[in-house]
Amino acid sequence: MSKKITIKIDGKPVEVEAGSYLLAAIESLGIEVPAACRYPFLPPRPVCKLCSVEVSLSGGEAKIVESCSYECVEGMDVRTNTPAVLEARKKALANMVNRCAENNLLKDIAGQMGIADEIKFGKELCTCIYCKLCIRVCDELVGANALSFKKGKVKEEEGESTPIVLDESKCILCGACAEVCPTNHLRIEEEHDRKLVHHDMELGPNSAISLSFRQAVPNVPRIHAEDCIHFRLGGCRVCSEVCPKDCIHYDDQDVIEEFEVGTIITATGFQDFDPTPMKQYGYGKLPNVISALEFEKMNNAASPTNGRIVLEDGTEPRAIAILHCIGSRDENYHPYCSRVCCMYAAKFAHLVKEKTTAEVYQCYIDMRCFGKGYEEFYKRILDEGVTVIRGKAAEVIPARYHREEEGKLLVCVEDTLISKFREIPVDMVVLCTALEAHDNASEFGRKLNISTGADGWFIEAHPKLGPVSTTTDGVFLAGVCQSPKDIPDTVAQAGAAAAQAMKLMNVGEVQMDGAYAEIHQEFCSGCKICNGLCPYNAITFEEDKKVSYVNPALCKACGTCVAACPSGAIEARHFTDEQIYAQIEGILS
Amino acid sequence: MAKPKLAVYWAASCGGCDIAILDIENKILDVADFFDLVFWPCAADFKYKDVEAMEDNSITLTLFNGAIRNDENYEIAKLLRKKSVVLCAFGSCASEGCIPGLANMFDKQGIIDYAYKQSPSTVNPDGITPQTKVKVPEGEITIPAMWNTVWTLPQTVDVDYIVPGCPPQSNQIAAVVEAVIDILKNGKELPPKGTVLGASEKTCCDECPRERNVKKIRKFVRPQEIKIDSKICLMEQGLICCGPATRAGCGAKCVTAGIPCRGCYGLPAHVRDAGAKMISAVASVIDATDPEEIQRIVDTIPDPMGTFYRFSMAESMLRRKQTT
Ligand SMILES: Cc1cc2nc3c(=O)[nH]c(=O)nc-3n(C[C@H](O)[C@H](O)[C@H](O)COP(=O)(O)OP(=O)(O)OC[C@H]3O[C@@H](n4cnc5c(N)ncnc54)[C@H](O)[C@@H]3O)c2cc1C
Ligand code: SF4
Ligand code: SF4
Ligand code: SF4
Ligand code: SF4
Ligand code: SF4
Ligand code: FES
């Protein structure tokens, strides 16, 4: 710990750490000092000189110093309010005011100093006060060295608008300069909230370190290394400076932990169908065409719009189309019904009606309101004035008939109930995208020895009698990873899976079926033909004995290896060759 | 004490088995010394009537090679069975039909027509075909009638033991002879009836020195089509090696030399149809899922029947091709 010393500020003795900066000590007494060129994460460098105070050391002569960067020494006597101090500050302020356009920062400081009437801004158009913070933050904190002051005067008559020169090849677009600029002269231009800082976080909190979303588990922020200045250039580390609990460890690496478990519940869910390839709906190209999950995120109270339903320009929509079955019930994409879309679409319509005055059009193939209270909910949105159109939307195009339609969208759909082709003008389109199996589902399934069907969902042991178990004992399924379903069904299946797992764990051992394949190793010649055939990975090769082995706990008695073994060394218990021959002979006799 | 009596006979065979017996080198002297050779048409002049004159069960051991494909083969098989204490199906033809057994892919008439009329090398302007009887000035001569189907020895008469191989390897023959002498000399008990002598319970792969891996085959090839790797399992190189479905005993001679096992050592101990076993093994390791692709790969298998049933056609569950 550093040494404590005592200094005097406006006559009052104050205990401070030797070598600390004077401005902090002054402010700790509640004395206001104007300051325009400081930033908490940069070492002080006197540029603006607004923070001037009078200091005399051990009874010596008083002199004017910049308090932000002046170190405290034992016995110093500080005056913050003498005429000389005021004069110095006025001079400093006038210096800045003369060089820039009118701005609130300097006006506020003038007000604070009680000289609001005395200042006169220059004729310049830009509000840069030459505090150098942006340049310093880019050099010293970010390490990109992308900014510098222009040499010579800003030639406004030649269209120049700023004394700051940006080397675009060096800028990493971190935004730190805009963050520190005290007059908002430097800005990072963002589109409405869809501007990404991190690609995962569209419509979410945008920062290199953040909570993924409010309810995230575990509920701790994480750093997106792709966006973090520290991981990109080695500088910054601001978050670790501000974290009071020392939780930020830049050296942390992903670790792979291994657990021994007896049962596994697979609940890996789904991925959202990407509608970009369905060019007819303009997703990713037309403004305000968004996916259902994006709409869901926007509606979240913790979203950047605070749960408000708005267009990209921040205004409220007047008409919204909700298009069902995008990628579902479609031979070109997924032939199956995603099951939850009709009902969440109804929920969306209800939310729109609740939060806005917009018209809602729902284009559907069939309205599948299959669950408890669902049909009633559907009736309710009809009462709320939602327009439902039976017909799958064919296309979304920009509306261009009239000038006032600029930016609007036209949904083209055949209303099959009245056999009429309709073009509905809206300003937002929500695509009810299919739930689809993760791209890597089958690869993941192989790790667990469970298989996926043609549509990618994991296959249950039996569609009616074994809906939560799999063909691998001890591995269970819950939720959408098995097939599309809503939350109530997911929760029910998860409960059943948990119960099944508990049952096994309680007993502590598993009972095996008596039927399994057995390799009579005395006849196995180690040809390895069976190796690699078992769909359940039950066969291993015992290098020491040069023969193969079937793990009976994994074997499902499918018989593949039994048929393949050319030595006849593998016997399917309860389905032996002798039994089968006897049956054939019995039939033929 | 009188010496034990030994008989060796050839039915439908190439004669290779008889040569193989002579090939056991100085052990043949032990044989001559220990046994009283009573019948061996290939090596010495004996007549059937000499055998007919013997008392039943008077021959201690008969090594019978050759398949049964005509009246004569069958008559002598029955005769030797009656006269012998121990009847041994010796070699592949006797025990499983071997190359003669491939005749079961055709019928008798078809074979005669081809051999005497259609084959490119046949010159037979008078269209003469074999007859079972022919009149000559001295009287009528008969020759044994050829059968429509080739049978194995165990399919026609009761057989005690089997010595596999085409032909059985000389070291194995020597070992069998030695064991028989030992049993007879020292009054030991005979092995259980049906035992396969001079071979092991495992398959050729067990004796094969080649390194093997999980097999994934996308194309079958014949030995002349590729440069064969000398270390790796031949099957993995796309060659159809019948080693995995062939009884071990030969010492893996072919595969060691780089030629795929043809299967002459016969059925493994626990297999009922070697050809079918090979087919299901080969089918299991074809590395494709698309039916057309699979068909394309299967089409690269040369001569499937001759490859998978080269030695075992007659004794297989198929036994013969259905001809009308
Ligand atoms: C736009 C939209 C709106 C919906 N609205 C409703 C609604 O209002 N009411 C309703 O009942 N249902 C609704 N649903 C359906 C609901 O989302 C699903 O029923 C529910 O999410 C299924 O839960 P789950 O746990 O099976 O899968 P998910 O919610 O997908 O959860 C799976 C989890 O597993 C994780 N994971 C994946 N792979 C791995 C791995 N290899 N290792 C570790 N973790 C992994 C994923 O990150 C994810 O967190 C809606 C669906 C959509 C798309
Ligand atoms: S955005 Fe970042 S890197 Fe670019 S100039 Fe500003 S501080 Fe420097
Ligand atoms: S080090 Fe921390 S504060 Fe700096 S950019 Fe990275 S996450 Fe943000
Ligand atoms: S019977 Fe089927 S599950 Fe069992 S080891 Fe053989 S291939 Fe695997
Ligand atoms: S296929 Fe049969 S002989 Fe070959 S390694 Fe497997 S069990 Fe052994
Ligand atoms: S398949 Fe043939 S080459 Fe391969 S290990 Fe068996 S005997 Fe040897
Ligand atoms: S705040 Fe001290 S010089 Fe700018």
pLDDT tens readout for residues A379-394: 999 999 999 999 999 9
| Predicted confidence (pLDDT) per residue in B9-59, tens digit | 999 999 999 999 988 888 888 888 889 999 999 888 889 999 999 999 999
**Beta-carbon contacts below 8 Å between A and B:** 81
**The pLDDT value given to residue A195:** 37
Residue B324: inside a domain, yes or no? no
Task: Report ipTM for this prediction.
Answer: 0.90
Interface mutation target, options A442, A520, A529, A570, chain B, most CBs of B under 10 Å: A529
Give the pLDDT score at A204.
38
CA distance A439 to chain B (A): 20
DSSP state of B12: B
Residues B65 and B80 occupy one common structural domain: yes
B201 to chain A, any CB pair closer than 8 A? The answer is yes
B234, B278, B285: which to mutate for ligand 6, most atoms within 8 A of CB? B234
Q: Which of the ligands is closest to the CA of residue A299?
A: 1
Same domain, B243 and B194: no
The two structure tokens encoding residue A25: 């000590």
A209 near B CB under 8 A: no
**Contact (CB, 8 A) for A263 and A505:** yes
> Residue written as tokens 């059985």?
B168
Average pLDDT over residues A444-468: 93
Pairwise CA distance, residues B22 & A286, whole Å: 92
Angle at B242 between CA B241 and CA B248, to 5 degrees: 115
Longest dimension (CA), chain A: 127
What is the DSSP annotation of B226-246? S---SSB-TGGGTB---GGGS
Q: What is the pLDDT of residue A119?
A: 82
| Percent share of chain A, pLDDT over 70 | 97
Q: Are residues B293 and B164 in the same domain?
A: no
What share of residues in chain B are helix, strand, coil (percent, to 5)?
35, 15, 45
Kindly state whether residues B182 and B243 are assigned to the same domain.
Answer: no
Q: Given phi > 0 = left and psi -120 to 50 = alpha, else beta, which region is A109? A: alpha
- The SS3 call for residue B317 is coil
Asked if B217 and B193 sit in the same domain, the reply is no
pLDDT at A200: 38
Span B195-214, mean pLDDT? 93
Q: Measure CB to CB from residue B205 to each of A527, A532, A563 and give the nearest one.
A: A527
* Domain edge (last residue) among B179, B198, B217: B198
Examine the domain organization and report whether B41 and B19 are in the same domain: yes
Final residue before a domain boundary, out of B177, B198, B219: B198
Among candidate residues B79, B195, B199, B92, the one with its CA nearest the CA of residue B150:
B92
**With b meaning 16 or more CB within 10 Å and e meaning fewer, what string describes B76-88?**
bbebbbbbbebbb
Query: For residue B322, is it within any domain?
Result: no
Closest C-alpha to A569, from A527, A538, A506, A509: A527
The answer to whether residue B14 sits within a structural domain is yes
CATH entry, A275-436, from 3.50.50.60, 3.30.70.20, 3.40.50.11930, 3.40.50.300: 3.50.50.60
Chain A CB contacts of B212 below 8 Å: 526-528
- Top mutation candidate among A539, A540, A546, A547 for ligand 5, by most atoms within 8 Å of CB: A547
A204 lines ligand 2 (CB under 6 A): no
Which atom of ligand 7 is closest in space to residue A69's alpha carbon?
2
pLDDT of residue A194: 40
Q: Are strands A393-398 and A209-210 parallel, antiparallel or unpaired?
A: unpaired
State the closest ligand 2 atom to the C-alpha of A188, by its place in the atom list counted from 1.
1
Distance CA B234, CA B259 (A): 8
**Which secondary structure element, helix H or strand E, spans residue B112, and what is its range?**
helix B108-113
**pLDDT of residue A402 exceeding 80:** no
Give the minimum alpha-carbon distance from B273 to chain A in angstroms, rounded to a whole number: 10
Instruction: For residue B188, tell me if it sits in a domain.
Output: yes
Q: Whose CA is nearest to atom 2 of ligand 4?
A: A558
Residue A540 has pLDDT above 90, yes or no: yes
Q: What is the pLDDT of residue A338?
A: 97
Residue A205 has pLDDT above 50, yes or no: no
CA distance B236 to chain A (A): 10
Contacts of B89 (CB under 8 A, 6+ apart): B64, B95, B152, B153, B154, B159, B161, B162, B163
Ligand 4 centroid to residue A557 C-alpha, Å = 5
The pLDDT-based confidence of B157 (bands split at 50, 70, 90) is: very high
Distances (CA, A) of B275 to A210, A527, B68, B197, B243: 67, 17, 21, 22, 12
**Cis ω for the linkage preceding B120 (within 30 of 0):** no
Same domain, yes or no: B186 and B38? yes
Condensed to tens digits (0 to 9), the pLDDT of residues A178-197 reads 889 998 888 776 544 443 33
How far, in Å, CA of A451 to CA of B267, rounded? 37
Residues B103-114 have pLDDT tens digits of 999 999 999 999
Assign a CATH topology to domain A517-588.
Alpha-Beta Plaits (3.30.70)
Task: Report the top-level CATH class of A4-113.
Answer: alpha beta
B58 in Cβ contact with B5 (< 8 Å): yes
DSSP symbol at A199 = G
Atom of ligand 2 nearest to the CA of A134: 7
Q: Could you identify the atom of ligand 1 that is nearest to the CA of residue A485?
A: 19
How many Å is the maximal CA-CA distance in chain B?
72
- Average pLDDT over chain A, rounded to an integer: 90
Residue B241 lies inside a defined structural domain of this protein: yes
**CATH number of the domain encompassing residue B23:** 3.40.50.700
Task: Provide the 3-class DSSP secondary structure of residue A539.
Answer: strand
Pair (B40, B144) in one structural domain: yes
Residue ranges of the alpha helices (H) in A8-103? 22-28, 83-98
What pLDDT is attached to residue A193? 41
Residues B9 and B71 in one domain: yes
What does pLDDT average to over chain B?
93
Provide the 8-state DSSP code for A105.
H
Reduced DSSP (H G I as helix, E B as strand, rest coil) percent helix, strand, coil of chain A, to 5: 25, 20, 55
Cβ–ligand 2 contact at A208 (below 6 Å):
no
pLDDT digits (tens, 9 = 90+) for B172-203: 998 888 888 888 888 888 899 999 999 998 99
All residues of chain A having their beta carbon less than 8 Å from the beta carbon of residue B205 are: 525-527, 567
Q: B271 CB near a chain A CB, below 8 Å?
A: yes
Residue range(s) defining the domain that contains residue B290: 204-315
Q: CB-based contacts of A397: which residues, under 8 Å, 6+ apart?
A: A282, A409, A410, A412
A-chain CB neighbours of B243 within 8 Å are 527
Mean pLDDT, residues B268-272: 91
Question: How far apart, in whole angstroms, are the C-alpha atoms of residue A133 and residue A177?
Answer: 7
Q: Is the pLDDT of residue A588 over 90?
A: yes
**Mean of the pLDDT values across residues B227-242?**
95
B34 and B141 assigned to the same domain: yes
What pLDDT does A189 receive?
Answer: 64
Q: Are residues B29 and B168 in the same domain?
A: yes
Q: List, chain by chain if needed, residues with CB within 6 Å of any ligand 4 atom.
A: A 517, 533-534, 536, 538-539, 550, 555-562
Of the partner residues A526, A568, A581, the one whose CB lies closest to the CB of residue B270: A568
* Burial of residue A218 (number of CB atoms within 10 Å: 0-12, 13-18, 19+): exposed
Residue A419 has pLDDT above 70, yes or no: yes
pLDDT tens digit sequence for B61-112: 999 999 999 999 999 999 999 999 999 999 999 999 999 999 999 999 999 9
Q: What DSSP character marks residue A482?
A: T
pLDDT score at B324: 63
Q: CA-based angle B79:B85:B86, to the nearest 5?
A: 95
Q: Which has the closest alpha carbon to A194: A110, A284, A255, A107?
A: A284
Pairing between strand A271-272 and A435-436?
antiparallel
Residues B232 and B171 in one domain: no
> Is A473's pLDDT higher than 90?
no
CA distances from A411 to A347, A391, A398, A422, A531 (A): 20, 11, 9, 8, 56
Of A49-63, A179-193, A394-408, B203-217, give the lowest mean pLDDT range. Answer: A179-193
Residue nearest ligand 6's atom 4 by CA: B233
pLDDT at B289: 87
Q: Is B254 domain-assigned?
A: yes
Q: Residue A579 CB: number of other CB atoms within 10 A?
A: 11
Number of domains in chain B: 2
- CA A367 – CA A354 distance, rounded (Å): 21
Query: Does residue A507 belong to the interface with chain B, where contact is any CB pair within 8 Å?
Result: no
Could you tell me the residue ranges of all domains in chain A? 4-113, 133-189, 190-248, 275-436, 441-507, 517-588
Domain assignment of residue B321, yes or no: no
- Which pLDDT value is given to residue A447? 87
Residue A206: pLDDT band by 50, 70, 90 thresholds? Answer: low
- H or E segment at B171? helix B170-186
For residue A320, the cross-strand partners are A360, A428
pLDDT given for residue B113 in this prediction: 94
Among candidate residues B198, B222, B246, the one where a domain is terminated: B198
Q: Which residue in this structure is represented by tokens 């093997």?
A: B212
Residue pLDDT, tens place only, A57-113 = 877 888 999 999 999 998 899 999 999 999 999 999 998 888 888 888 999 999 988
B320 is a domain residue: no
Tokens at B157, concatenated: 């008469």
Torsion of CA A532, A537, A538, A541, to 10 degrees: 40
- Who's near A578: CB < 8 A, 6+ residues apart? none
